[in-house]
C-alpha cells in the first residue's frame, strides 16, 4: 500500500483522493504546512501532492521538503500563476505540475506516474 500525503485546504483533490483510497492507497490529508514537514522525519510518504495557495510560503515549505527528501516525488497544483512563480515551481523538479481545477483522473494518473517513477528509481539503486 502506497502512502500519499496531500496538502490542501479547500478539497481541490477530493474526487481524486476518493479514487486513490478506493484503490487501496493510504491517503493522509493535511491543511497544515508543518505537518508536511513533520511527515519527512518518520516513515516518509511515497508521494506528496501539494496544493499551493501562497507561492511565497508554500514554495519555501516545498523547498525544505526537496532538501530533506531529494528523490521524493512531488505533485504540485496551483491556481493559474505568473511565469516567475511557475518557474519557481519547476525549480523544485515536481513529477507533475497542474493548474487547478484538475480532473480526478488527471490527479490519479499523476500519482500513478509518480509511484511508477519511485519504483523505477528504487529498483535502479
Average pLDDT for runs of 10 along the chain of length 125: 91 90 94 93 93 96 96 96 96 96 94 81 39
Domains defined along the chain, listed by start: 3-120 (3.40.50.2300)
Residue 121 has a pLDDT of 46
pTM for the whole structure? 0.90
Element (H, E) at 99: strand 96-99
Burial 56-77 (b: 16+ CB within 10 A, else e): eebbebbeebbeeeeebbbbbb
pLDDT at 86: 95
Q: Which of 78, 76, 74 is nearest to 101 (CA)?
A: 78
> What is the rounded CA–CA span in Å between residue 71 and residue 83?
25
Amino acid at each position: 500500500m502506497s502512502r500519499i500525503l496531500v496538502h490542501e485546504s479547500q478539497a481541490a483533490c477530493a474526487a481524486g483522493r476518493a479514487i486513490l483510497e478506493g484503490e487501496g492507497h493510504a491517503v493522509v490529508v493535511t491543511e497544515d504546512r508543518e505537518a508536511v514537514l513533520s511527515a519527512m522525519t518518520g516513515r516518509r510518504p511515497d508521494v506528496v501532492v501539494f496544493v499551493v495557495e501562497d507561492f511565497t510560503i508554500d514554495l519555501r515549505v516545498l523547498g525544505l521538503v526537496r532538501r530533506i527528501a531529494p528523490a521524493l516525488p512531488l505533485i504540485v497544483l496551483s491556481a493559474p500563476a505568473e511565469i516567475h512563480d511557475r518557474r519557481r515551481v519547476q525549480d523544485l523538479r515536481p513529477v507533475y505540475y497542474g493548474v487547478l481545477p484538475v480532473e480526478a483522473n488527471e490527479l490519479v494518473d499523476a500519482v500513478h506516474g509518480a509511484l511508477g517513477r519511485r519504483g523505477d528509481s528504487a529498483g535502479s539503486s
